[in-house]
Structure 1
Amino acid sequence: MSQSPAAAAPQVATFTTHSPATGKPIAEHPVNGPEEVSRATERARTVQAGWAALPASRRRDHLLRWKKALATELDAMARTIAEETGKPVGDAELEVVLTLEHLGWAARNAERVLRWRKVRTGLFTVHQRAALVHRPLGVVGVIGPWNYPLYTPMGSIGYALAAGNAVVFKPSELTPGTGVLLAGLFDAAVPEHAGLLTTVTGAAATGDALARSGVDKLAFTGSPETARTVMAVCAQTLTPFLAECGGKDAVVVTADADLSAAADAIVWGALSNSGQTCAGVERVYAVREIHAELCELVAGKARALRTGDEADAAYGPMTLAGQVAIVDRHVTGALSAGARALLGGPESVRAPYVTPVVLADVPEDAAAMTEETFGPVVAINPVADVDEAVERANASRYALGAAVFCRSGREGAAIAARLRAGAVSVNSVLGFAAVPALPFGGSRDSGFGRIHGEEGLRGFTSVQSTTVQRFTPPIALTSFDVPAATRERAVRLARTLHRRR
């Protein structure tokens, strides 16, 4: 008996997303394998040729049209983010707003940053006209995280598109709906370049397929361990790789700081989004004379917060169920090692929620001080002075963000310059995240490369250097026909000039 066409069609593998708060199913999405990812990359490469050929002003207009569509659908995007991550809708709305700021900046500044630029030549190359230009790479692969499923990957997606590239985006398997909606809004806003941004869905195998698909650069956000795995795949084809791998960010609080303001910022930086922020506050070093007062202020402010899935909750559940066990291990281990619980403790861990935990006097070798907790936990340790605070802050294997609270902005900036962090805020936390012109990224186990700002735009281009000979040089050094006497005169002239200061 012959089968009907419908019966003969192959089954498409799917996976289901679930609410972090209730566990209820949200939606089903296809598991895109190597063939689907390869087709998406090939299509993106075809569309990218036309996109790159456009004048920069036209690309700007298209991206601003997409930004307008995102702004128009802000509520729908925020609802999707909130549903998939469990964060309050208000937090999700802020994520969309910051994304719009960055997309607008990238669209409006790409032409200025990446335009053809003349450069000066030297004494022996005065006959050359020299210039450089930043050209798009082609197709950029982006593997995004679940904690900020729109804002974080758009630091690569928006800037890569503004630089003239196409993008294939693999969102986290926990938040695929956000990525699908993002690409759909692009196609609707810029239908003449549909396929320039494609979302592929799935878990680790889909990310592996993207790394092997022939993209011209891969931007990754996730853990250092996963980054090493993906980077090893990219190394096989020498595919350029950008990694943002989280942090263990420290705050330095001086004796003359505004402690109320510092406490307010620390609580928000440590607990917002359930502490699931790569550049969130996890360690605080306060000089000894104000340590007790700061601890009291932080614990008091954190105690007033309410956790849950209600509209007025300060933050929601842990998005990744497995992270709850890590939080519990860090808190339990710190207390067993002699730390004091100023607020909360092991009883705070009630999956999928973790109520605020404020610790003090945590041993520096405890996991709560050395590993990324990625939960609503903050440790506040006393130090003798700023020098000790800087030393301890820099001792981490992470180097992503940091903050300094100090009465003098100038002194705060001087302390910031001593911190080994890719971004530092003085008298605020995460201030740099809302400034599109500032690059963002870290070093050590926090990864490498930069997104945002001019560096973020240039990071998705290749630089081409060009020289054009304007006239025959009086001393041609790039020829076998140069007389020995001429070469000797050139050497004597260079020696004389370069001996001068």
Structure 2
Amino acid sequence: MTSVQSTTTTFDSLNPATDEVVGTHPVHTAEQVGAAVRRAEAAAAWWASLGFDGRAERLQRWKGIITRRAAQLADVVHAETGKPHADAMIEIILAIDHTAWAAKNARKVLGAKRRSPGLLMSNQAAWVEYQPLGVVGVIGPWNYPVFTPMGSIAYALAAGNAVVFKPSEHTPGVGQWLVDTFADAVPEHPVFQLVTGFGETGAALCRAGVGKLAFTGSAATGRKIMAACAETLTPVLIEAGGKDAMLVDADADVDAAADGALWGGMSNAGQTCVGIERVYVHEQVYDSFVTTLTEKAKDVRAGSDSGAKIGPITMPAQLEIIRGHIADAIRSGGRVLLGGTVGDRYAEPTILVDVPESSEAVQEETFGPTLTITKVKDMDEALDKANASKYALGGSVFAKAKGMELARKLRGGMTSINSVISFAGVPSLPFGGVGDSGFGRIHGPEGLREFGRPKAITRQRFAAPLTLTTFARTAKVDAQVAKLITLLHGKRR
């Protein structure tokens, strides 16, 4: 067991559909978090010494264990989040694929590469390589408790770092499962450790001297994380909330767009940071789109039985936010075409139209199974409204002729054309946002580089005819260098 033990205070993890106790976990103190980081520092030295091949072999071993026990992990995810078992399997499968990619590509991305020294320094050979940061702290979310944190954990490990992971207090069992299976694959040292608890435990991890802190959660909490990390100048990677938009152009496949909007908005009960919450539809296809979407949505029901397509709202406090956004939309003049019901545990799929852009349902992250559908005269209007949000994480465009053009203009870190959220499943693509959606990237080469520090190295190959870095330099050398730089860069354009 590689979690921190010997604490007296505990908390329960509850099934959000039944309030059944799923597990009991320790609330780790600042001292215990610090001790975990110190152990991780020693383990990090060993882990880094294995080199890319040694780490890749062990990560592939871990990936194999996760794959063979995926159904067991899905059970834990289902119990702690309430999401359907099949949806839990989707995020596990994606996490497995990302782990494999990170292990395979770490050397190619982070290993030493030659750089041109330029004419002035032509006597030097030059390299750059990415060296491990040491220990990376990861604070994970509850909505995708496997896929999202593994975008930091697997990439940080592949880059040569040890990891101390603080999962959400709603999904500590998932974190424990990941740490325990890693220990099965890598029993030698505590390279990957777990700390559990609430906000105080996360704040302690920020202050514990990690080389970097990767956080996924709300923008408000992200600001607190940054403030805590600033005390020790600990760099941070923030993946915060989203209010992602879908654009539907006049030439779009309306049936496919409606299907994409339904999945993007309602899957995981809308508890997806890159889920679709706003849809802007060209007036020429608006009526057809709304009719098709509403008809498709009638088959999506919330519940915990085998026939339900979406589960409960995992975090009870979110129910009031969802309820408030729907009420505000109606007060502002919006109409409910479907749903609108928010109970004690579940929120039914809700489709809203005629909602003003100033409404909370458009401006703020709802994080529930709701969609606002807005008619626009053209895609310029759609872009203006979509890009007015303070959030800018992902997005989607359904169009034929102008798909790429619109995708480039849609503000955010990621856009899918004629699909939804597909960028998250491509391991080679970076994942992250701008504005209140955060900064930094996980996944892809950019994600690997987030967890290394660039190291520049030069080696003199032969004595330079014009040596600048010496007090023995003469006026003649200075004149020759000035003449050379003029020849190289002084031409009139």
TM-score (norm: length of structure 2) = 0.98
Give the C-alpha shift of residue 160 in structure 1.
Answer: 0.2
Structure 2 letter corresponding to 1:495: T
Q: Deviations over 1:68-89 (max 9, x none)?
A: 0001110110000010000000
- Secondary structure of 2:141 counterpart: coil
Matched, 1:68 2:59: no
Alignment of 1:427-442 (within 5 A): 427-442=418-433
Report the CA distance between 1:192 and its aligned residue: 2.0
Structure 1 Cα separation of the partners of residues 263 and 457 of structure 2: 50
Equivalent position to 2:316, from 315, 321, 329 = 321
2:487 and 2:169 mapped to 1: Cα distance? 65
CA distance in 1, matches of 2:462, 2:320: 71
Tell me, yes or no, if structure 1 residue 406 matches structure 2 residue 399: yes
Q: Tell me, yes or no, if structure 1 residue 23 matches structure 2 residue 19.
A: yes
Q: Which runs of 5+ in 2 are unaligned?
A: 1-5
Equivalent residue in structure 2 for 1:360, among 353, 362, 372: 353
AA aligned opposite 2:319:
V
State the shift of 1:499 in Å.
Answer: 2.8
- How far off is 1:485 after superposition? 2.4
Query: Is contact 2:216–2:239 with CA below 8 Å preserved after alignment?
Result: yes
Instruction: Please give the per-residue CA displacement for 1:342-386, whole angstroms capped at 9, x wherever unaligned.
Output: 1122xx111210001001121001000010000000001011101
Name the counterpart of 2:487.
Answer: 496
User: Is the 2:128–2:455 Cα contact (8 Å) retained in structure 1?
Assistant: yes
**1:489: how far off?**
2.2
User: Aligned with 1:417: secondary structure?
Assistant: helix
Residue matched to 1:225 = 220
| Kept in 1: contact 2:335–2:352 (CA 8 A) | yes
The structural deviation recorded for 1:11 is: 6.7
Give the 3-state SS of the residue equivalent to 1:428 in structure 2.
coil
2:259 to 258, 261, 264: 264
Q: What percentage of residue pairs aligned between the two structures are identical?
A: 49
> Which residue pairs with 2:303 in the alignment?
308
Aligned residue identity for 1:111: R
Contact 1:102 1:452 in 2 (8 A): yes
1:210 pairs with one of 199, 205, 210 = 205
Structure 2 CA distance, aligned partners of 1:469 and 1:11? 55
Task: Name the aligned partner's letter for residue 457 of structure 1.
Answer: L
Letter in 2 for 1:75: A
Residue type of the alignment partner of 1:15: F
1:109 aligns with 2:102: no
SS for the counterpart of 2:120 is: helix
Looking at structure 2, the residues matched to 427 and 388 of structure 1 have their Cα atoms a distance apart, in angstroms, of 19
Matches within 5 A, 1:223-302: 223-302=218-297
Q: Runs of at least 4 residues of structure 1 off by over 3 A?
A: none
Out of 287-296 and 439-448, give the one that drifted further: 287-296
Deviation at 1:438, TM superposition (A): 0.3
The Cα of 1:492 is off from its aligned counterpart by 2.0
The corresponding residue for 1:459 is: 450
2:54 corresponds to 1:58:
yes
Structure 1 residue 479 and structure 2 residue 470: aligned?
yes
Question: Match of 1:158, as an amino acid?
Answer: A
Number of matched pairs = 488
1:382-438 superposed Cα distances (whole Å, 9 cap, x missing partner)? 111011111111100001001000123xx2011111111100000000010110000
Name the SS for the 1:17 alignment partner: strand
Structure 2 Cα separation of the partners of residues 497 and 177 of structure 1: 62
Structure 1 residue 296: deviation in Å? Answer: 1.1
SS where residue 463 of structure 1 aligns?
strand
1:7-41: per-residue Cα shift (whole Å, max 9, x none)? xxx87100011110011221111111112111111
Hey, what's the Cα distance between the residues in 2 that align with 1:17 and 1:303?
Answer: 32
Tell me the equivalent position of 1:4: none
User: Which amino acid letter does the alignment assign opposite residue 488 of structure 1?
Assistant: A
Partner of 2:387: 394
Name the SS for the 2:309 alignment partner: coil
> What's the counterpart of residue 31 of structure 2?
35
1:369 partnered with 2:365: no
Distance of 2:27 and 2:339 partners within structure 1? 40
The runs of 5 or more residues in structure 1 that have no matched partner are 1-9
Which residue in 2 is equivalent to 1:5?
none
> 2:51, 2:332 → 1: CA distance?
61
Paired residue for 2:372?
379
In 2: Cα distance, 1:314 partner to 1:458 partner: 38
Structure 1 equivalent of residue 336 of structure 2 = 341
Return the letter of the residue paired with 2:200: A
Query: How do residues 91-240 of structure 1 correspond to structure 2 at under 5 angstroms?
Result: 91-193=87-189, 195-240=190-235
Query: Using the alignment, how far apart are the partners of 2:333 and 2:270 within structure 1?
Result: 23
Aligned partner letter, 2:46: G
The amino acid that maps onto 1:337 is S
**How many Å separate the matches in 1 of 2:144 and 2:391?**
20
Contact 1:89 1:311 in 2 (8 A): no
**Offset of 1:481 from its aligned partner?**
2.0
Q: Is the 8 A contact 2:51 2:160 kept in 1?
A: no
Please state whether the residue corresponding to 2:64 is helix, strand or coil: helix
Distance 1:289 1:12 in 2: 63
Is 1:67–1:100's contact at 8 Å kept on the other side of the alignment? yes
1:488 is paired with a residue whose SS is: helix
Write the deviation string for residues 436-466 of structure 1: whole angstroms up to 9, x where unpaired.
0000000100000000000000110001101
What secondary structure, in the 3-state scheme, does the structure 2 residue paired with 1:214 have? coil
Aligned partners of 1:219, 1:11: CA distance in 2, in Å? 25
Residue equivalent to 2:9? 13
Q: What amino acid does structure 2 have at the position aligned with 1:54?
A: L
Alignment check: 8 A CA contact 1:250 1:282 kept = yes
SS at match of 1:191: coil
